[in-house]
A and B are shown apart, each in its own frame.
Chain A
Amino acid sequence: EDQVTQSPEALRLQEGESSSLNCSYTVSGLRGLFWYRQDPGKGPEFLFTLYSAGEEKEKERLKATLTKKESFLHITAPKPEDSATYLCAVQDNTGKLIFGQGTTLQVKP
Chain B
Amino acid sequence: SAVISQKPSRDICQRGTSLTIQCQVDSQVTMMFWYRQQPGQSLTLIATANQGSEATYESGFVIDKFPISRPNLTFSTLTVSNMSPEDSSIYLCSVDRQYNEQFFGPGTRLTVL
Contact = CB atoms under 8 A, between A and B. Distances in A.
Interface of A: 31-32, 34, 36, 41-46, 49, 87, 89, 91, 94-102
Contact of A96 (B45, B105, B106): B45
B31 interface: yes
B100 A44 contact: no
A86 B17 CA distance: 34
Contact of A46 (B31, B44, B102, B105): B102
Nearest to A100: B42
Contact of B101 (A46, A96, A99, A102): A46
A97 B104 CA distance: 12
Nearest to B1: A46
Contact of B31 (A32, A95, A102): A95
A96 B100 contact: no
Which of B42, B104, B109 is packed against the most chain A CB atoms within 10 Å?
A: B42
Contacts of A46: 1, 101-104
Interface bin, chain B: 20 to 34
A41 B109 contact: yes
Given A96-B45, A102-B42, 5 more contacts: A34-B102, A41-B109, A43-B92, A95-B100, A99-B43
6 contacts: A49-B99, A87-B43, A91-B102, A96-B45, A101-B42, A102-B42
B53 interface: no
A5 to B, nearest CB: 11
A42 B106 contact: yes
A45 B41 CA distance: 17
A96 B48 contact: yes
B42 A87 contact: yes
A42 B107 contact: yes
A98 B96 CA distance: 14
